[in-house]
Amino acid sequence: MVTMNNNLYAQSATLSREQVKIMEHQLDDVMELIDTAVVKRKLAEVERACATTPSILNKARLGIIYHETALNFLADTTYKGFSKKSYDILTEVVNMPEAPLALLPFVKSYRASALSLMSGETKKLALLGDAFELFADAVKTYSTVCYAPEFMRGSVAENLPWIFFKKKRFAKLDFQSIIDKQTYDADFANWKIMSFTYWAWAKQFGKKHRTLAIQYLDKAIQLDPNYQAGRKRAEELKEALRR
């Protein structure tokens, strides 16, 4: 478990990559899940843990798994309202003065994404604008030490209808930025994030940069031997580009 000391309450400029990576390991099992059976199992597991031990970390984990549940079951009315549950609990964590600084890049990124999911569920476009304001703040504050702000913003942006072209542009900017940082620091993002990122980049730039896109798709496939991240979609896109 993460030791919560005064160093983690300092200003964002003092947050180190090492602190972020330590926190990432505490959250990784509830982030970026695509297997619905795993999502359901983790949901039950984290809800029990938070009920028994309502620590800041467990609350953050609960907010994130609520986000993953909402995302994976968008069309299932059984899980209607989970995006709001995610947003509410992550907002609670953000407003806790004692919340460790290294937790905030993840919590603020998933909070913004949860708000975008709420926008889609409620058809309230103003919430999408609010979500991108939250993303902008997270990117400005944490993107040099954590992949989450740009990855989450890019993931939301790539799925928006074309009429939101001003927001969709972030898909190209954010995934390119993550790849640039990964090139400089091979430990910037984990294999799961990079598999998704290489696929997402190829989706955005594949027609214009076909050769590089296929190279990135090969990386996405190689990083994900067990189909837990971007491999399936990368294989499908690679085949489409070859045609």
* Structure token digits, residue 99: 């919340």
100 dihedral zone (left: phi>0; alpha: psi -120 to 50; beta): beta
Contact 215, 179 (CB under 8 A): no
pLDDT at 2: 30
- Residues 52 and 37: their CA atoms lie apart, in Å, by 23
Contact 233, 223 (CB under 8 A): no
Q: Which residues contact 135 (CB under 8 A, 6 or more apart)?
A: 109, 112, 149, 152, 153, 156, 170
Q: Which residues contact 240 (CB under 8 A, 6 or more apart)?
A: none
pLDDT at 3: 32
pTM value? 0.91
Fill in the DSSP letter of residue 10: S
Contact 220, 202 (CB under 8 A): yes
pLDDT in tens, the chain (243 residues): 233 333 333 345 589 999 999 999 999 999 999 999 999 999 999 999 999 999 999 999 999 999 999 999 998 999 999 999 999 999 999 999 999 999 999 999 999 999 999 999 999 999 999 999 999 999 999 999 999 999 999 999 999 998 999 999 999 999 999 999 999 999 999 999 999 999 999 999 988 899 999 999 999 999 999 999 999 999 999 999 987
Number of H helices, E strands in the chain: 11, 0
Closest CA to 146 of 111, 190, 112, 176: 190
